[in-house]
Amino acid sequence: MQNLDATDRRILLALDEDPRIPVLLLAQKLALARGTVQSRLEKLSASGALRANSSRITPAALGRGVGASVRVEVDQHHLREAIEGLKRIPEVLECHAPAGDTDLLVRVVARTPDDLYRVSEEIRLCPGIMRTSTSMFLRELIPYRMTGLLASE
């Protein structure tokens, strides 16, 4: 991942305010050349610094208002198969390999608590997964954010 300079940060902060702003308007707002903004956005996109536009949609807007974290214990010989199985479950939003006793930490969404049970069972039945433990989120207190990090550097 590349280091972000002040110009990259200015572009990203402006996009955080208005992710649909056209490149020309973004360039005008920041007093930069359109080509500069366009090339910076292409580099940021190619490096993986920019999330896909679909990540700005809230799960609740898609009828998935129940969120949860699922701790997963995996047979290490079948880790790749377990991850491939998790990728096929649309309600799995992200999966991390944390330090500590948990093999995988999976963030999921569902329609209702009963639907969360179904999603948890789909996860448990993936190849290589031996055990799961699900914790439902009651309320989002701090939403996903990047503005503070961009502004603090």
Query: Where do the structural domains in the chain lie, given as residue ranges?
Result: 6-54, 59-137
User: Which residues, including other chains, have CB under 8 Å from residue 40's CB and lie 6 or more apart?
Assistant: 7, 8, 11
Instruction: Decide yes or no: CATH 1.10.1060.10 for domain 59-137.
Output: no
Q: Which amino acid is at 53?
A: N
pLDDT digits (tens, 9 = 90+) for 133-150: 999 999 999 988 888 888
CATH of domain 6-54: 1.10.10
User: Pairing between strand 129-137 and 92-96?
Assistant: unpaired
Under the banding of pLDDT at 50, 70 and 90, the label for residue 2 is low
Q: What percent of the chain has pLDDT over 70?
A: 97
- Sign for the pseudo-dihedral over CA of 5, 150, 104, 86: negative
Domains 6-54 and 59-137 share a fold: no
According to DSSP, the residues that pair with 131 across neighbouring strands are: 73
**Cα–Cα dist 29/85, whole Å:** 44
Q: What pLDDT is attached to residue 37?
A: 96
Instruction: Name the strands in the sheet holding 104-110, side by side, starting at the edge strand that comes first in the sequence.
Output: 92-96, 104-110, 66-74, 129-137
Q: Of the ranges 6-15, 53-62, 117-126, 127-136, which one carries the lowest mean pLDDT score? A: 53-62
Q: What pLDDT is attached to residue 148?
A: 87
Identify whether the C-beta of residue 83 lies closer than 8 Å to the C-beta of residue 101: no
Under the banding of pLDDT at 50, 70 and 90, the label for residue 128 is very high
